[in-house]
């Protein structure tokens, strides 16, 4: 990779800004000061330093974000705040949310620039499990549990795939957890509407092997651990 491209991808500056930095002799490769932007480097072997600080190249970035209500799962929007408005101090500028949560839905959202991983996680053929916690206006019953397990008619050509519904509290306002393996538009809300009930609060608490930690508050994000990344890739 060209040195100027490497420095730019590491967030040091634009290509033109990087060229000026190189002239100022603040960049070294394997201890040698380099001023030529076209210098080729091996990102796996060469040690590149800027202002005496080593720059470790990461082709992909992975973040777990606790999405708050009121923002949209997009990279840009002319009306609403986006989830990307919360993600700062990243190396790359091509990150995006994997899938989407409704504007009023909270919870786990993966932010990355790994397109291949995103495709695998969202592919219907992969059946990646997603678990939601929800409050329901209406008393959820064992009959609903059995119906969700068989599949629910939400007005499409085929009913939903079998889903695991767990009742946490069955009252006029019920609390449940629901695991689905699809990502149809407003799916959770539509499933409960199909049995005459209404979702009043919805939060995604897991996606595949990723589980939203209790100490990650709404609006906060953190890098995935190496273990979490490997679990996602090998899931």
DSSP string, 43-97: TTT--EEETTEE----S--EEEEEEPTTEESSS--SSSEEGGGG--S-S-S--EE
In angstroms, rounded to a whole number, what is the distance separating the alpha carbons of residues 103 and 160? 22
Structural Rg of the chain based on CA atoms:
23
In angstroms, rounded to a whole number, what is the distance separating the alpha carbons of residues 47 and 43? 8
113-116: long-range contacts (C-beta < 8 A, 24 or more apart)?
Answer: 113/60, 113/61, 114/60, 114/62
Give me the catalytic one of 42, 77, 102, 137.
102
CA-based angle 183:192:171, to the nearest 5? 135
94 is written with which tokens? Answer: 């091509």
142 flagged as catalytic:
no
**Residues annotated as part of the active site:** 102
């Amino acid at each position: 990779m060209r040195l100027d491209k490497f420095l730019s991808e590491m967030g040091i500056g634009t290509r033109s800004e990087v060229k000026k930095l190189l002239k100022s002799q603040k960049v070294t490769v394997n201890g040698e000061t380099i001023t030529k932007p076209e210098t080729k480097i091996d990102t796996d072997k060469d040690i590149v330093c800027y202002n005496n600080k080593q720059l470790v190249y990461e082709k992909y970035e992975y973040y777990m974000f606790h999405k708050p209500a009121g923002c949209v799962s997009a990279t840009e929007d002319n009306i609403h705040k986006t989830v990307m408005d919360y993600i700062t101090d990243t190396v790359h500028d091509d990150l995006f949310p994997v899938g989407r949560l409704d504007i009023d839905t909270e919870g786990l959202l993966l932010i990355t620039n790994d397109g291949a991983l995103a495709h695998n996680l969202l592919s219907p053929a992969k059946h990646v499990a997603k678990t939601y916690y929800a409050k329901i206006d209406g008393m959820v019953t064992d009959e609903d549990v059995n119906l969700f397990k068989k599949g629910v008619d939400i007005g499409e050509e085929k009913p939903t795939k079998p889903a695991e519904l767990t009742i946490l509290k069955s009252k006029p306002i019920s609390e449940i957890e629901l695991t689905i393996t699809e990502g149809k538009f407003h799916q959770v809300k539509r499933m409960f509407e199909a049995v005459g009930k209404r979702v009043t609060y919805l939060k995604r608490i897991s996606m595949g092997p990723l589980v939203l930690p209790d100490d990650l508050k709404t609006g906060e994000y953190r890098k995935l651990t190496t273990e979490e990344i490997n679990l996602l890739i090998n899931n």
